[in-house]
Structure 1
Amino acid sequence: MNISLDYPWMLALIILPVFVFRIFPVYLQPAASIYLPFFARLVAATGQAPTSGSQVKQRKRIQAMALLLSWLAIIICLARPVLLGEPVVTQKTGRDLMIAVDLSQSMEQEDYQLNEYGKVSRLVALKSLLNTFSEQRSGDRLGLIVFGSGAYLQVPFTEDIVLWQTLLQQMDTQMAGPATAIGDAIGLSIRAFDGSNTTERILLLVTDGSDTSSRLDPVDAARVAAADGIEVFTLGMGSIDTEGEDKVDFNTLNKIAKITGGQAFEGNSTGAIEQILQQVHQIAPAKYQQQSYLPKLDLYPWLIGPMLVIYICVWLALTISTVMVNKGQADVK
C-alpha cells in the first residue's frame, strides 16, 4: 500500500502566509497610551503589579506553533492524501449470445445418437450439446428463445449460466406450438438485443424445419438484424437430402446467415452438431472486458481530527492561563 496526494499542487499554498505578512501591513488597533522608558524601574519603586492595559501583549510560542501546525494540516488536507490499496481488476461480459431453439413437433424424432443413452430425440441431443456449449461461454451473457407456432423469450440475457441451463432443460416440444416461426424468432431476438449495451451481438438459430407460421418473413427479419449489428449463425438439424414435410429449408437459413455476416451449418448427427458448436465457439469465443481501479482511503480525517483536538487544548490552556493571571492581578489590587 502506498500514500499518494490527489492534488499535490495544493502544497504550494504553504508559503501563502509569508506573502501575506510581507505584502499586507500588520493590523494595529489604536489606543491612548503613555510610553515610559523607565516603566520597569517605576514598577519596582512603587511595588505595584502592572495591569493588562499597561503592557504590550506578545504572542506566545505555543500559539505560533499551533497556528503553524494548523495551517500545515489544512494545506495537506486540501491536497487530499489517500492510501492506495492493491489494484482491483473486474471483469464484465463483452458479448451477448442469444440462442433460439425450434420446439416444433418434429424435434421429437429419435434419430440422433447420444453416447450414454443411445438413440434419443433431436431435442434431447440438442439440450445435452447446448449444456456443454454454455459452459464454455462463461465470458458472455446468454439468452434463450423458444419458438414453434410463435416465439417466446424463455431467458433474458443473463450471466447466470446455471440458471440458463436449468431453464434449457425445462423446455419441451410443442410448448410453443406445433408449427415453425423462424422469422418471428429472429424478430423477438432483435427486440431482446434492444436492451443490450454490448457491440458484439450473436444469434444462434436452431431449427429442423421450414418457416410455416411467421408473421415476419425470415429474410426480411435478417435484414433488420443486420442493420442492428446482429450476426446470425444458423444450425439446421437434419440432412440436406431430406425431402417432404421434414425437409429443412437450408436455402433460407443460408440467406439469413449471409445477410447478417454469420454462417450456416448442417447438423445431421450428434457429432456434427457438437463440431458445429465448437466451431461457433472458436469463431466467436467468449469475451471479457476488464476494468481495473485502485481503491483509495482518505487520510485527511485522521489528520484534521487530532489537529483540532490539539488546537482546542492549546486554546483552553491559554484561556485558563489568562483567567488565572487576571485573577492574580485582581487579588493584588
Structure 2
Amino acid sequence: MDMNFEIAYPWVFFLLPLPILFYWLLPPLKKRRTALKGAFFFRSAEAMEVKPQESAWISRRNILQWLGLSISWLGILAAASNPKLVGQPDMKVKTSRSFLVVADISFSMDTRDWAGTDGKMYTRWEGVKQVLGDFIEKRKGDRLGLVFFGSNAYLQAPLTTDTEIINWLLSQAEVSMAGQMTAIGKAIGFSHELLQADSLDHKVMLLLTDGADSGGGISPLVVATAAAKDSVTIYTLGIGDPNAPSSDLDEATLKAIAEETGGQYFLAMDEQQLAQVYETLNALEPMEFEEEEYRPEQLLFIYPLAFSLISGLIITLIITLLKFIRR
C-alpha cells in the first residue's frame, strides 16, 4: 500500500524559538549557595574603601547541555506535530438496513417439481437454496439474517454483514429440520421480535413458503399488522405452481400480508422465475448504504519522542561522566 508522509499540526514548529524568547525576557534563576563568612569583612572593606554590593553568581551551561536541551525541545515539537504515514483513501460501507430472510423448510419443500435452467428437476428447497444464495451474496449493503421455519421458527443466522457465513448456513439446511408443518404466523411473529431488537430503522422481511399456515393459534395477518406498526416491510414469495393438485399455497394470505406491511407478493414456479423475482426485489429495495471515507494511518510521534528522551539521557550521562573525570 502506498503511504504518504503528513504532518497534522505543522504550526507547532513556530514554537521552536520559544525557549530563546524565555531566555531573553525572564530574569536568571537565583540560587543560594554556601559562602565563606569572614569576621572582619566589613572592616576590611572599609579599610580598602570598597563598598560591598549585592550580587549573584550565574551558572553557565556548556555546549553539551545546550545541545541536549535543543535536541529534546526539537523532538518534543516534532512529536506534538503528529507526523504520520497516510494511505490512499478507501470507502467504508456503513450498513443502513436490516434484511431478514424467513424461509419455509417444511416437508412440502421436498417436492421434486422445480425446473432448473439446466433442464433437470430439483426439489423446491434445492432450487431455492441455489438462487437465494446468489441473492444474499449481492446484498452487501445490508445486515442480513436467516430464519427457518416449519412447525416452529428458528434463528439460523443473526443479523450480520458476513454474507459468506449466511450462505454457508443456508447450504447446510435441509428440509424438515424445523418440523413438517407450515407455521407462517409463528415465523412472522418470531422474526418481528428479532427486528424489534435491532437498532436500524429500515427493516425488511422476505417470507418464502410453498404452503398455507397450519394454525398454531397465531394468525399471520395479526402479527403482520403488528410488524407494520413497527415499520417492518414484508415481501412474500410463493414457491411452486398454485394450480398443481398437490399444492396448498395460500396466495390470498400472502398477498394480504404484503399489502398490510407495504410490501409485495411474488410467485415463482421455477428457477428462472425466482431469479426474476430477486431482480425485481433488488429494484424495489435498492442497497441504500452510506459511505465513509477511511484513510489508513500509521502514527509516527513515538519516534521523535523516543529520540528526544534517549538523546537527552545520553547527553546527561556524558556530562556526568566528564564531571566525574575532572574530579
> What's the TM-score, normalizing by structure 1?
0.75
Task: List aligned pairs for 1:78-157, cutoff 5 A.
Answer: 78-91=80-93, 93-116=95-118, 118-157=120-159
Between the aligned partners of 1:173 and 1:314, the Cα distance in structure 2 is 77
| Aligned partner of residue 262 in structure 1, secondary structure | coil
Equivalent residue number for residue 26 of structure 1: 28
With over 3 angstroms needed to count, the CA separation of the structure-2 counterparts of 1:237 and 1:323, relative to structure 1, is closer
Question: Is this contact kept in 1: 2:74–2:308, CA < 8 A?
Answer: no
In the alignment, which residue of structure 2 is the partner of 1:234?
Answer: 236
- Taking the TM superposition and a 5 Å limit, the aligned residue runs for 1:164-243 are 164-239=166-241, 242=243
2:305 aligned partner: 304
SS in 2 for 1:70: helix
Is residue 74 of structure 2 the alignment partner of residue 72 of structure 1?
Answer: yes
How far, CA to CA, are the matches of 1:313 and 1:177 in structure 2? Answer: 76
Looking at structure 2, the residues matched to 320 and 239 of structure 1 have their Cα atoms a distance apart, in angstroms, of 96
Deviation at 1:323, TM superposition (A): 4.0
Structure 2 contact 7–84 (Cα < 8 Å) conserved: yes
Structure 2 residue identity aligned to 1:155: A
- In structure 2, the residue matched to 1:37 is none
Is the 1:150–1:213 contact (alpha carbons within 8 Å) kept by the matching residues of 2? no
Alpha-carbon spacing, 1:157–1:12, altered in 2? closer, same or farther (3 Å): same
Alignment correspondent of 2:47:
none
* Structure 1 gaps, min length 5: 35-54, 328-333
Shift in alpha-carbon separation, 1:66–1:201, aligned structure 2, 3 A: same
Q: Size of the alignment, in residue pairs? A: 305
**Deviation of the 1:254 alpha carbon:** 1.9
- Residues 1:259 and 2:260 aligned together: yes
Over 3 Å counting, the alpha-carbon distance change for 1:245 and 1:4 in structure 2 is: same
CA contact (8 A) 1:136 1:286 kept: no
Alignment deviations for residues 82-138 of structure 1 (CA, whole Å, 9 cap, x no partner):
232333444455543222222334334444322435344333332333233334334
Partner of 2:62: 60
**Cα distance in 2 between the residues matched to 1:156 and 1:59:** 69
- Superposition CA RMSD, Å: 3.4
What SS does structure 1 have at the residue aligned with 2:64?
helix
Alignment check: 8 A CA contact 2:234 2:257 kept: yes
Distance 1:323 1:201, change over 3 A: same
Residues 35-54 of structure 1 aligned to structure 2 (within 5 Å): none
Q: Deviations over 1:136-192 (max 9, x none)?
A: 334444332222222222333344444433433443443333332111111111223
CA distance in 2, matches of 1:208, 1:217: 17
CA distance in 2, matches of 1:125, 1:83: 50
Q: Offset at 1:287?
A: 5.5
What is the CA-CA distance between 1:11 and the residue it aligns to?
A: 3.9
Counterpart code for 1:104: S
User: Taking structure 1 as reference, are residues 148 and 296 closer, same or farther at Cα in structure 2, changes over 3 Å only?
Assistant: closer
Larger Rg: 1
Give structure 2 stretches of 5+ with no counterpart. 38-56
What per-residue deviation string (whole Å, max 9, x for no partner) do you get for residues 61-84 of structure 1?
333333233223223323332232
Does the aligned pair in 2 maintain the 1:137–1:285 contact within 8 Å? Answer: no
After TM superposition, the score normalised by the length of structure 2 is 0.76
Supply the distance in 2 between the matched residues of 1:232 and 1:272 (Cα, whole angstroms): 19
Contact 1:203–1:232 under 8 Å retained in 2: yes
Cα separation, 2, equivalents of 1:180 and 1:301: 63
